[in-house]
Structure formats: structure tokens, C-alpha cells
Structure 1
């Protein structure tokens, strides 16, 4: 998800990342947060990325994943402290690459700018840089990595506790734009706002496109070994009927 953390962790914890992790060859402890339909604690299967990861581990490597669901900021802290083997779904950035390693891509995500049609008379569909948004008010869920980009561009940025709160505040006219994964945004809107298609829209030009990964602690030798096995297993799993069934189930092209 595509999420940031501001935890400050001393290098000692990276040198001994798995002191408290009890490793069993047939199980793996993972962590994730709520980001439906990519991952969710609230539905059978736990989201299509979870189903792909489970399918890869169980059918190709005979490993049973156990998933801890928590707030996004907690996921990265758990990985840093060695309380889980890997977390997902995350995209690469330079800051994360200092401390973490990434599996091969599991899925893609487009982040777009959501807005209320009646509130923006001339939407900047052809924006060229974030500086084109200086006159607008942004809202973003707390913990999202894109917050750093928005603040670096000196934009007006407010934090919401979660995606639903961000949309509620956007709907109330407190903000102008909400950058969010397209699938996540429309999935939530169509559940919570009966008139979503009439009231909400997105800018034609996306904010960014990202590939989503399992993220490992780069100082965890066993984790890196597992990542290599997972990459080969994922490639094999993507050739199976089960993989295609998962994509069809979630309407993913």
C-alpha cells in the first residue's frame, strides 16, 4: 500500500531482526492492513493479493502463511523488529530500499486523484507537476507514503485516519482532492456512497503507477532465502488455472 512510517529504529534492530521470531519451515508469519480489494480481513480469501500469496506458498512451496492484520504503520515496525517474516503489499522507493528487499511484482496499482464533481468546476486533468495543485487542498489517509511527495511539493495536506474518513471529509467539502489507489477508492465508494458514480470522479491523468510486492527485512538471511524461492514459485503459480481463477473472481484483467 503503498505506505510510509516515521518510526525511528536504531541499527541494532536491523542487525538482529529475528531474535523474537520462531521459525518453522512449514509456516510463515506475514502482516498486512486493510486495503480492499487487494487485502482485507473482512472477507473470505482476504483479498486477491492475499489469495495469490497464499496460493503461491501453499501449492508451490508447501508453506502455510499466517496473516496478522494491523494498522499500516505497525506493519513496517513489525518487520523491522523481526516480529513477522514479510509484509505486503508494498511498492519500492529509495527510502525503503535502504532497509528492505522486495519480491518480484505480485500486482499493479494505479493511484488517482478523486474529487467531487460539483466542487471542482475545471478539473486539472492535464496537470504536469504537483505544483499545479498549489491552490487545492489535499487529504490522504495517515500512513500513506505519498504524503511525503505531497508535502515536498509544498501542497496543503491534511491527514485522515483511514480511507473512509478521507472520502467522508472530501464529500463534505473540507478538501479538494484525495490521491488513492483506483481499485481501493471505487471499491469503498460503491459500498459507502450510493450515489458515488454521480458525485465522485477521478482526474484522467493518474498520480502514479506502482508494482506491489512482498517486502522483507534485507538483514534477514532466512527471509531473503525465502524471497528467492517465492519469486520462482510465483512465476510458476502464475501459469496455473488457480491463478486465473483468482483474477476472474476479483474482476482483474
Structure 2
């Protein structure tokens, strides 16, 4: 009898553990952020997709490198949201796409330019944010010295250098850029900037669940089912529209 009660307690504990998970996160408004409503739109999509499958998400916010490492080691269940790569596929179960990120080249309206390939960017004064990957062609041209790229500490610093005329172009996720401009820059400053309509890179971002944790293969399938339900309900499109409506530079 005592053994049976112990077994039931262990089983209940396992079920409870599976129905609540700890995910790491970072600061990337309006997609992700500790103090944003719903912790950002990407966090909201992840949490609500899991909720449709009866799983509660508890978020933890850390610097990005630490967030990824904690999930990789299995110290946390997973992390949101990240690009897909072969290396990450080896370490994580990778979800269906949560949101799409499009990087565009921001510039001053007084400094119009056109481009069709990375080679067309030669001779321009370019900045990028440290640790950011702007796509294979851009990264290779930067590494080979074909593009002169100054790496800065933050996206905001890049926009300020752009406004100051110290650089000619700055690659930035369009939605993130609009949000940052509206939160940290004046209307007069915003009016001086635009972006080229050709994306530098466009990628899907995913939830990662650690392969170190038993049961995560099944949980990523549950998440994908919940995500599909959320999309079919129209809520994903609604949430993404809500963060984009007030963000425009007139392009």
C-alpha cells in the first residue's frame, strides 16, 4: 500500500512537472522583454500556444548568451526565440516558426541609396550590432574585408550614429527598429530616417527545447499543435498586427 501511494505521488509529480516549464528569454522589444505586456508578442504566442495544450510557462530573463547556455545544458527547459541552425538542431528540439524577423538597411533620407546584392554595399560606412548575424553573404563579405563594418554595442547606438552621420547604413529588424525609434527618439529624428525596401535577411524564429531534458521531444510536438491552433484562431496574426500598426516611417 505504501509503495502504491509512493508510485502515485511520483507519477503525479511527473505530470505536474510536464505541465509547467521554465523558459529563458531576453530583451528584444517588442518581440521579447521582461517588462513588456505579456513579456512581448513572441513570448505571448509561446505561452498561449502552450496554454492550449495545458502547459504553463514560467519565464526567466537573462542576457542572451546565458539564456541559451542554460537551456543548452538542461538547467532550464528551453529558450525563446532563436534562429534555426544545424548546431542548434543538434542541441535542441526546434519548434515550428513562432514569428518572422526581417532585417532591413536603415539610412538617412538625405542619403538615398540602392542595392540588389551585398557587393553593392562596398564603400558604404556600415555598422552592425555585436553578436548579430546578418546573413551568410553579409557575414562572409565582412569577414573577407569586402565590407567595412563597425560593430557597436546596441541597436540604439547604431541608430544614433546613423542620425549623427557617422555611418551610412545600419541593418535592423524593421519592427524592432520602429519600436525603438518611437520609444527613444523624437518625431524630428524619426522623420530623418528611412529604410531600403529590400530585406537584408528574412528568417523565422523558433522556440528551442533542450535535448538534455527527457520529455521535451513530446513537449515540442504539443507546442507545435498549440501553435497551429493559435494561428488557426487568427490570434497570432492579430497580435503581430497590434505591434505594427503604430510603427511607420512612411515607407
Unpaired segments ≥5 residues, structure 2: 1-15, 246-251
1:123 aligns with 2:113: yes
The two structures, once aligned, show a CA RMSD in angstroms of 2.3
Q: Of the candidates 82, 87, 99, which is equivalent to residue 90 of structure 1?
A: 82
Separation in structure 2 between the aligned mates of residue 193 and residue 80 of structure 1, nearest angstrom: 37
The alignment covers a number of residue pairs equal to: 225
1:141 aligns with 2:154: no
Q: Of the candidates 148, 152, 173, which is equivalent to residue 160 of structure 1?
A: 152
CA shift digits 1:220-241 (9 cap, x unpaired): 4422221111111211222336
Instruction: Report the CA distance shift for 1:250/1:149 in structure 2 as closer, same or farther (over 3 A).
Output: same
TM-score, normalised to structure 1, is 0.79
Separation in structure 1 between the aligned mates of residue 24 and residue 175 of structure 2, nearest angstrom: 21
Separation in structure 2 between the aligned mates of residue 222 and residue 36 of structure 1, nearest angstrom: 31
Instruction: Report the CA distance shift for 1:147/1:72 in structure 2 as closer, same or farther (over 3 A).
Output: farther
Shift of 1:245: 5.2
Aligned to 1:108: 100
Aligned to 2:23: 30
Shift of 1:95: 4.3
Q: Of the candidates 159, 180, 195, which is equivalent to residue 188 of structure 1?
A: 180
8 Å Cα contact 2:175/2:244 also seen in 1: no
Instruction: Report the CA distance shift for 1:25/1:99 in structure 2 as closer, same or farther (over 3 A).
Output: closer
Unpaired segments ≥5 residues, structure 1: 1-22
8 Å Cα contact 1:72/1:143 also seen in 2: no
1:132 aligns with 2:125: no
Separation in structure 2 between the aligned mates of residue 182 and residue 33 of structure 1, nearest angstrom: 18
1:178 aligns with 2:170: yes
1:44 aligns with 2:32: no
Aligned to 2:194: 201
> Structure 1 residues 143-152 or 163-172, which shifts more?
143-152
In structure 2, the residue corresponding to 1:88 is in which secondary structure? strand
In structure 2, the residue corresponding to 1:68 is in which secondary structure? strand
Higher helix share: 2
TM-score, normalised to structure 2, is 0.80
In structure 1, the residue corresponding to 2:149 is in which secondary structure? strand
Separation in structure 1 between the aligned mates of residue 49 and residue 99 of structure 2, nearest angstrom: 13
1:230 aligns with 2:223: yes
- The within-5 A match list for 1:48-87 is 48-58=41-51, 60-87=52-79
